[in-house]
Structure 1
Amino acid sequence: MSPIKDFIVSYEAPNEKGFISQGDTIAGTVTFTLTKETELKVLVVKVKGNARVHWTEGTGDRRKSRTAHRRYLKLKEYLVPENDKGTALPKGANCFKFRFTIPQEDMPSSFKGLHGRIVYMLEAKMSRSWRPSSVVQKELKFVSKSLLHPGSVMCPQSGSVEKDKGEVQMSATVNMKVCSPGDTLTVVAKIRNSSSKKLKPKVSLQQRIVYRAEACTDVSDLRLYKMEGDTITSGSEETFSCQVKIPGDANCTIQNCEILSVEHYVKVYLDISFAIDPEVKFPLVVIHSSLAALQSGQAVGPYPAGAFGAPTYTDFPPPAFPPGPYPVLAGPGAYGYPAPDPSQHANMTSGYNNQWPQPAAPYGFSNAAPPPFQQGTEPPPYMSLFSPPQDDLGRTGSDYKN
């Protein structure tokens, strides 16, 4: 029977929402009870971040599996240094404190989807000679700051389209391009129908998840919201407006993962019977609600790496670009964890450490701005607000080698 009882890893969340981000400190404890004096080869605590996608395609003999994996984070701290001869720990309750600082690196947010996931995990592992290792884990909610574009929340987007040499014209505007789950967008479209057909304005909020592996892709499209306006008869002009609410459980945008991406856009289009529907797409960046204050342009400052606890080392190369602005966090001593007592075991820290451009217009369409709807009033000009998409992207626990 194992002498190890009540093996638990716990940590103090750095904020009331319970998530972690670049620059945050994770401070916690590993506790367990020994029913007798026990020799350990090593006791180590790790923070790991992994992305993994997997799906199958084809049928029968042509059925194939597609799999890809990326590691974004691995930090570890030795609570009992590795020793093949073993380190004796006393009978009774044992408690070890640890502290990590999440590096200022470009890492994607946590995500779970049908064919892939991005998972960040806190793990404690205890090894004894000639015995199976004991492992406990706790999943971490990671929210990336990599998508922050301070001051761009209320930047409106505009676009226009026409069909059949100007017989049908539409210009549309959405009041923001960066939003959070629960936010409400305002969409306004001006339509001029000089054709002989009736048409109906419609708006939809779309989500697209793209999984990538082995030079193949698997795409999942989901409509999150849809609304339609009144029919516009031949020879008339109308203005259609509506409110589009981002669902509270919507996934956040992911643009910085090589094997998995999440994108959102608002599509404004005209439903015309027996014809190709003219449309305008507006890309959205959905960020975690807790980052809204930073996104709105509040003062922030660079966060110096390594300002907390023992130094952390990483096997990852430094980023090819300077880290973005992050809020200045509290100094050493936060969370009430003093420096390790010299009488305790030495804790050695080591570590391993889109946008949607306007598509080419279908046959019979033009993306040029339409003529004025009425004397002296021009529709909003088309604005190219986003750069081309970045085709960037977890198995946890025993799925990966330690």
Structure 2
Amino acid sequence: MPSIKSFTMTYDALNESRTFSEGDRITGKVTLVLFKDTKVLKLFVKAKGDGSVSWSTTSGDRNHTYSAGRRFFKLKQFLIQEASHETIIPQGIHHYNFSFNIPQGTSWSKGLPSSFKGNHGKIVYKLEAVLSRSWRMDRTLKEELQFASKSFPPRHSLMSQQVGSTNEEMGLFSKGHVRLNVTVDRKAYAPGETVDIVANIDNSSSSEMTPKFKFTQEVVYCARGNTKFEENVIHKVLDNCVKPKTQKQVRCAFKIPQFQTLTILNCDILSVKYYVKVYLDIRFASDPKVVFPVIILPPELALGPQPDVAAEPYPAGAAGGPSDSDFHSPGVCMSPYPAFPHSAIHEYPGAQRYSAPQPTYPDNPPMYSGPPVVYPAQPAHMSGSYSNPAPQLASPHRSPFSSPSPSFMVPPTAPTSHPPPTAPEIYPSPSSLSHISPPAPTYSLLPSASMLNTDFLSQSDEPPPTYSNLFPSSPENSDAK
């Protein structure tokens, strides 16, 4: 009867793509299920990364084989330590946890290359669990890891637009010249992203030509000073023919396959590069072409084009411009008075609209740059708890009593916080109006006049105030008289 029922190994994924990179921590566990007590010599787990290349060539009757290998790292952890005598593991289920820290590269060119499998070479990362017993074959478990390198050039250099051009003179079978200008939106992409290409063609020749676009993968294997070159076409697009003596702009967009191998630039025996080639296919002439390098990054490192952020036409908080307030944006209106060129109107839900001129204070500069909060001006004839039920709007016709000069106005106290978006109370409570007679005619007082504290309309026995009470003469005039 066998003593081992099952022997399994699992590891914890760090992301949806189940990839690892430099500096990551690999954690997992080995599960051993035994039918009975079992003697074990040792149990250990290894994490390693290896690269190898190999190809053969034939020269006459002789075959030449070229091969090379690299060990990137190897880590080993004992779960059951080897000792002078065997360790007895009791019957049942046993879990053994393990963890490894993947080495961190010192620079982008010295890091670990990404996983790759090609026709003549591969780069593989894997986990291995080995159970050793006396007089038994070792039982080995292997789990391959997908490794995505973080070792790439600085990010800011990968987001710039690529521009190239070529100007070709035609050969014997055609006259004139051709100019090709090509733009690629950036240099780095992630699998699944789209490459956008714009080609401007100036065909000042007597020949027709066909624009063509290719996205290719180039793999170079190196061993003992020899190289093996391999090219794979991933995408190829043809456009309509460009007639002689014409100009044309051609746009092409293609998507990088979702599981495309990443660019490899930091391995001395194997490299993987990508290129975008734009060329004009011309019969009986050399083909003008423009070639751009493209880098394929892991999704978490790819920096797609940032969305254009429209600049605000006005500074934040300026009248008429965007602001962070919860209230409606203040409108801007023209005032009929030359002393007040603009007036700001704040609109609050459920409230009436009031328009008041915005005073200026030479001796009191504003404390903040935001729009002033304009409150309804209190009518001049208000006294005590009396409130005017209908606000008086500014008249476009000036009069001596319609609008005071700004030099006589008292600066309002700046509010400490914005009021909630509720309508201001403009009607008094019934109790405050119990002693008030019907509304009196409006009297517009000059700022120098003192405010009356007596409601003379409710005193039927007293005459109305005289002009001297409303407009007392100054002490200087009294002394002069």
After TM superposition, is the score higher than 0.5? yes
Residues 1:160 and 2:165 are matched in the alignment: yes
Which amino acid letter does the alignment assign opposite residue 65 of structure 1? Answer: T
CA deviation string 1:320-372 (max 9, x = no partner): xxxxxxxxxxxxxxxxxxxxxxxxxxxxxxxxxxxxxxxxxxxxxxxxxxxxx
Please name the residue that 1:30 is paired with.
30
For residues 383-394 of structure 1, the aligned pairs below 5 Å read none
CA deviation string 1:177-199 (max 9, x = no partner): 00012211111112222222222
Change (3 A) 1:11 1:249: closer
Larger deviation, residues 162-171 vs 253-262: 162-171
CA deviation string 1:6-29 (max 9, x = no partner): 111111112232111112111111
> Contact conserved, 2:148 with 2:262, CA < 8 A, in 1?
no
Residue 60 of structure 1, CA deviation: 7.3
Distance, in Å, in 1 between the alignment partners of 2:197 and 2:35 is 66
Residue 174 of structure 1, CA deviation: 0.5
Residues 1:268 and 2:273 are matched in the alignment: no
Please name the residue that 1:221 is paired with.
231
Distance, in Å, in 1 between the alignment partners of 2:213 and 2:302 is 25
Residue 168 of structure 1, CA deviation: 1.4
Look up the SS of the partner of 1:58 in the other structure: strand
Look up the SS of the partner of 1:63 in the other structure: strand
Please name the residue that 1:75 is paired with.
75
Please name the residue that 2:251 is paired with.
241
Look up the SS of the partner of 1:194 in the other structure: strand
Residues 1:212 and 2:217 are matched in the alignment: no
Residue 292 of structure 1, CA deviation: 2.5
Change (3 A) 1:18 1:228: same
For residues 2-13 of structure 1, the aligned pairs below 5 Å read 2-13=2-13
Change (3 A) 1:86 1:133: same
Distance, in Å, in 2 between the alignment partners of 1:188 and 1:94 is 61
> Contact conserved, 1:192 with 1:236, CA < 8 A, in 2?
yes
Distance, in Å, in 2 between the alignment partners of 1:61 and 1:129 is 49
Structure 1 residue aligned with 2:180, among 166, 170, 178?
A: 170
Please name the residue that 1:254 is paired with.
264
Distance, in Å, in 2 between the alignment partners of 1:123 and 1:189 is 51
CA deviation string 1:234-273 (max 9, x = no partner): 2222222211221223221111111111110100111111
Which structure 2 segments of 5+ residues have no match?
Answer: 106-110, 171-175, 307-481
The structure whose residues are more often strand, as a share, is 1
Look up the SS of the partner of 2:36 in the other structure: coil
Q: TM-score, normalised by structure 1?
A: 0.69
Please name the residue that 2:100 is paired with.
100
Residue 277 of structure 1, CA deviation: 0.6
Structure 1 segments, 4+ long, off by >4 Å, are none
Which amino acid letter does the alignment assign opposite residue 108 of structure 1? Answer: P
Which structure 1 segments of 5+ residues have no match?
Answer: 298-402
Distance, in Å, in 2 between the alignment partners of 1:296 and 1:235 is 36
Please name the residue that 2:18 is paired with.
18
Structure with bigger RCO (C-alpha 8 Å, 6+ apart): 1
Change (3 A) 1:178 1:198: same
Please name the residue that 1:147 is paired with.
152
Which amino acid letter does the alignment assign opposite residue 147 of structure 2? Answer: F
Look up the SS of the partner of 1:163 in the other structure: strand
Which amino acid letter does the alignment assign opposite residue 44 of structure 1? Answer: F
Distance, in Å, in 1 between the alignment partners of 2:160 and 2:103 is 30
Residue 55 of structure 1, CA deviation: 2.0
Look up the SS of the partner of 1:266 in the other structure: strand
Residue 233 of structure 1, CA deviation: 2.3
Change (3 A) 1:296 1:100: farther
What number of residue pairs does the alignment pair up?
A: 296
Which amino acid letter does the alignment assign opposite residue 14 of structure 2? Answer: P
Look up the SS of the partner of 1:146 in the other structure: coil
For residues 315-330 of structure 1, the aligned pairs below 5 Å read none
Residue 48 of structure 1, CA deviation: 0.9
Residue 45 of structure 1, CA deviation: 0.6
Distance, in Å, in 2 between the alignment partners of 1:217 and 1:52 is 13
Please name the residue that 1:181 is paired with.
191
Residues 1:119 and 2:128 are matched in the alignment: no
Look up the SS of the partner of 1:290 in the other structure: coil
Which amino acid letter does the alignment assign opposite residue 111 of structure 1? Answer: F
Residue 122 of structure 1, CA deviation: 0.7
Distance, in Å, in 2 between the alignment partners of 1:153 and 1:70 is 29
Please name the residue that 2:297 is paired with.
287
For residues 342-361 of structure 1, the aligned pairs below 5 Å read none
Which amino acid letter does the alignment assign opposite residue 191 of structure 1? Answer: I
Which amino acid letter does the alignment assign opposite residue 186 of structure 2? Answer: M
Distance, in Å, in 1 between the alignment partners of 2:60 and 2:41 is 48
> Contact conserved, 1:193 with 1:233, CA < 8 A, in 2?
yes
Distance, in Å, in 2 between the alignment partners of 1:65 and 1:242 is 42
Residue 276 of structure 1, CA deviation: 1.1
Residues 1:110 and 2:120 are matched in the alignment: no
Distance, in Å, in 1 between the alignment partners of 2:305 and 2:253 is 21
CA deviation string 1:43-83 (max 9, x = no partner): 11110111111222217741222221111121111111121
Q: TM-score, normalised by structure 2?
A: 0.58
CA deviation string 1:111-155 (max 9, x = no partner): 111221111111111112333221111111111111263244531
